[in-house]
Amino acid sequence: MHLRRQILDILADGRFHSGEELGDVLGISRMAVWKHIHLLRECGVAMDVIKGKGYRFPSSVELLDADAIKAAIRPETSRQLAGIETLFEVDSTNNRLRQKALEGAPSGLVCLAEMQSAGRGRRNRNWVSPFASNLYLSVLLRSECGIAGLGGMSLVCGVAVLRCLEQFGIASGGLKWPNDILVDDLKLAGILIDVTGEATGSCAVVVGVGINVAMPVQASERIGQPWTDLCTLAGMEKFPRNLLAARTLDCLLAAIDEFMASGLQGFLDDWSRYDVMAGRQVDVHLPDRTVSGRACGIDETGALLVETTGGPRRFSSGEVSVRAVS
C-alpha cells in the first residue's frame, strides 16, 4: 500500500509519467509498476494509460495529507484532537471509528479516506464515494451526557458545515431537515451521526460529514437524487480538500462544544436562516403512512413542525424523511 501511495503522489500533478520513470523513482521494475497501477484501477482509481506516454490522472488532484490538515487547523481545534488518519480506502469512515471506539480509542480521533467501498448516509442509503473526488470525514467524540442528551446534534453539525462553506464563498447553501445540505435544491453534503452507549451516561459519538467536491460524471450516474459539488459552485477545476477538511473540523468541533455546553438554543436562529423547507408543502413519510402539510421550521428540541389539515404536528429526527412536493 505504501508503494501505491507513492505512485498516487507522483501522478497527482495530472501529467504523464512513464513506467520506467516511476520504476526508477520507486526502485522497482516496470512490471511491478504495472501491477500496482492495475490494482489501483481495479479499486476504481480513474487513470489514463497511453502506450508510449505512460500513466496519468485525468486531471491534477490534491491527495489527503494529515500533516497539511494539522498545519491548517486552529490551535483550539488542535488541542481537541487525538490524531488524524488519512486512508486510501475504507468501507466507511464512520464504521472505522465506531470500531475504534469499541477498542477504546480516545475522543478527538479523526478519520478521512480517499474513497469508501461502502459509504452510507442516513437510513443506510448508499453514499457514492469515488477516489480523491470528495471529502469523507468522521470524528470520534466521547460524552457523559448520554444518548438522550444528544438530540439535535445533527442539526448543529449541519449549521457548522454551512458556516465552514461560507468561508469558501459558498453563501447560497441551505439545510433540509434533518441533515441534508443543499444549494438550489441540489444535494451538496450530508451528516451522519452514529451513537453507542448509555441513555443517560457514557457514550461514543461518531460524526460523519460527506461533501461533494469534484464528483466525476461516471460516479454521479449512481446518485439517486439531484446533486452539485463545490468545484461547480465555485467555478474551480480543483478545490483545496486539505484546507476544506481543516476548516470543517474547526467549525464542527467549535459548534459541538457550544452545543454540549448550552444545547440547541444558540443555533435556532442560524437554522431558521438556512432552512430551505420552511413554508413549503412537504410529505413526511412514516413507516406506516404519509403525512402532508406545510413545513413550519423546528422547535427548541430540533423536531420538525408541520401544519396539517388536522392541526400542527411535530416529528422527531430519525423517524421521518421529508421531500418537497412539486
> Do the bridges between strand 83-90 and strand 109-116 make them parallel or antiparallel, or are there none, so unpaired?
parallel
Residue 247 annotated among the catalytic residues of the structure: no
Q: Which of 122, 142, 294, 313 is catalytic?
A: 122
Residue 122 annotated among the catalytic residues of the structure: yes
Quickly tell me which residue has 503522489 as its cell.
Answer: 9
**Amino acid letter, 54:** G
Q: What does the alpha-carbon distance between residue 247 and residue 143 come to, in Å, rounded to a whole number?
A: 23
Q: What does the alpha-carbon distance between residue 212 and residue 244 come to, in Å, rounded to a whole number?
A: 11
How many Å is the Cα radius of gyration of the chain? 21
Q: What does the alpha-carbon distance between residue 236 and residue 239 come to, in Å, rounded to a whole number?
A: 7
Q: What does the alpha-carbon distance between residue 202 and residue 34 come to, in Å, rounded to a whole number?
A: 50
DSSP 105: P
Q: Which of 15, 238, 280, 323 is catalytic?
A: 323
Strands, sheet with 135-143, edge to edge from the N-terminal-most edge strand: 83-90, 109-116, 135-143, 203-211, 186-197, 180-183, 173-176
Q: What does the alpha-carbon distance between residue 89 and residue 244 come to, in Å, rounded to a whole number?
A: 19
Residue 98 annotated among the catalytic residues of the structure: no
**Amino acid letter, 127:** W
Inter-residue contact 60 to 12 (CB < 8 Å): yes
- Taking each helix axis from N to C end, the angle separating 241-262 and 153-166, rounded to the nearest 10 degrees, works out to 140
Inter-residue contact 230 to 188 (CB < 8 Å): yes
Q: What does the alpha-carbon distance between residue 184 and residue 177 come to, in Å, rounded to a whole number?
A: 15
Q: What does the alpha-carbon distance between residue 4 and residue 227 come to, in Å, rounded to a whole number?
A: 31
- Partners of 290 in beta bridges: 285
Q: Which of 163, 187, 241, 247 is catalytic?
A: 187
Q: Which residues form the catalytic set?
A: 122, 187, 323
